[in-house]
Amino acid sequence: MNGGLLVAGTTSDAGKSVVTAGICRWLVRQGVKVAPFKAQNMSLNSFVTRDGAEIGRAQAMQAQACRVEPTAHMNPVLLKPGGERSSQVVLLGRPVGEMSARGYHGGRQERLLGTVLDSLAELRGTYDAVICEGAGSPAEINLRRTDIVNMGIARGAGLPVLVVGDIDRGGVFASFFGTVALLAPEDQALVAGFLVNKFRGDVSLLEPGLDMLHGLTGRRTYGVLPFRHGLGIDEEDGLRVSLRGTVRESVVAPPVGEDVLRVAVCAVPLMSNFTDVDALAAEPGVVVRFVDRPEELADADLVIVPGTRGTVRALEWLRERGLADAIARRAAERRPVLGICGGYQLLGEHIEDEVESRAGHVDGLGLLPVRVRFDREKTLTWAVGEALGEPVEGYEIHHGVAEVTGGAPFLDGCRVGRTWGTHWHGSLESDGFRRAFLREVAAAAGRRFVPAPDTSFAALREEQLDRLGDLIEHHADTDALWRLIESGAPQGLPFIPPGAPA
């Protein structure tokens, strides 16, 4: 087998990432050696591979669904927004500069098509099948000329296309029909059919519409996936109000101790790697919420200032909203505060930034004895160490170089009283370290909270990926899906007018 498939969507957040992961896990369980691929990802939620390449976290999650190590070829182009109109361009795992949206779509993107096709060819030469994920909608006609992630990659590599639609939003039939009808004839020839996502109710009531859609487009529906809570793991650019659902769907176990722990995460601008707190949300008795007002910190047992692509901007935002003063009061009262990456940097004494914000010298919150200087070279590395008597793993993604001048060591950073700071993303996924940290937080907060002794974040993630595979296995026409991956789009698919505008 040397197959491939592009999972496109009628809209952003239609379910492309989870459907791709589900297909990958289903194939692995059939004994297929499979890899994920996304030519171009726009996300602040990224991951560092073992060899120091930065890719989207969604592709890292999909690689886990495939039970393989993630590589830069799985996401050759990553765009990390730094504002409304510009992004950092990460090519094959390394940053190559900042670019405006107009500059990128005005020519640079088109020139990257060869690079992404080479990465796809590398994967297809190594694996039995490659399941590709599109971005947004393939019918974004204003961007089709420079497209390298939807029909551009499908046509360049001859991939069949499966279009996913979120029926929970409504209008899925119009979205399916309109998506095909706005594509050029050569692109339409690769669109094999549809997959309905997030359906609630009796499927028999939907079937007449699916039959009519087939009659209108000549394309079949490959499955109807039922609505399931909590399947959106490692989101690219969304933010769940409740993170517990992103970890597992099963009923949450009651607290082991007498109390719960309340964790407030400051929803700073350009927040990156907010999945760092997923492991906390997985713990029975830990309640995680995102906040943007100082009064919301009052009853929190732990406040987390997360990573951000705009450290100075986040610092200004905290001050404008009164959150900076509230955090400083907490630290003075020895109430727990944790800063991660950009959040760690702004807890320090001062920041010298001529790279990210170009603001020069900026005073930090002064809660940790740390001085930060932004370097043009980006630190991308896997980290292994020990803290609180437990082994820890994580990864670093930052331009800021921290000089620690005091305090007690904590991972790569430091702590003063009950204020901790580190650049390490993902450290809370280390079960023993997470439990030890929560015990310290509970003691400082005066809570009779006890971490569950057997919570394994890795096992919960595997359980989640298996549920995605189950969705495909039980609710998609897997025989037809197999033929599509192995043999490509059916021949003779009809053209649906009007097609793409000239």
Catalytic residue ranges: 341, 425
Distance of CA 85 to the CA centre of its chain: 21
Radius of gyration of the chain (CA): 23
The single-letter code of the amino acid at 71 is T
Contact between 439 and 390 under an 8 Å Cβ cutoff? The reply is no
Strand 94-100 and strand 86-91: the pairing is: antiparallel
Per the DSSP assignment, residues forming a β-bridge with 165 are 196
Scored b (16 or more CB within 10 A) or e, 266-281 reads: bbbebbbbbbbbbbbb
HSE-CB for 320 with a 13 A CA cutoff: 9
Distance of CA 125 to the CA centre of its chain: 27
Long-range Cβ contact pairs of 328-333 (< 8 A, separation 24 or more): 328/365, 328/366, 328/367, 330/297, 330/303, 331/367, 331/416, 331/417, 331/418, 331/419
Extract the tokens encoding 312.
Answer: 């100075």
Phi first, then psi: what are they for 52, rounded to 5°? 85, 30
HSE-CB for 134 with a 13 A CA cutoff: 32
Burial class (CB in 10 A: 0-12, 13-18, 19+), 115: middle
Determine the Cα–Cα distance for residues 53 and 75; give it in Å rounded to an integer. 10
Strand 261-266 and strand 302-305: the pairing is: parallel
Structure letter (DSSP) for residue 104: I
Extract the tokens encoding 487.
Answer: 């043999």
The answer for residues whose C-beta is within 8 angstroms of residue 491's C-beta and 6 or more apart is none
The single-letter code of the amino acid at 339 is G
Contact between 35 and 68 under an 8 Å Cβ cutoff? The reply is yes
Q: What 3-state class would DSSP assign to 277?
A: helix
The single-letter code of the amino acid at 457 is F
Per-position DSSP letters for 119-150, written without gaps between them? HHHHHHTTSSEEEEE--S-TT-TTTGGG-SSS
Cα dist from 22 to 201, 222, 223, 280, 432, whole Å: 21, 14, 13, 24, 29
Per the DSSP assignment, residues forming a β-bridge with 387 are 390
Strand 191-199 and strand 261-266: the pairing is: unpaired
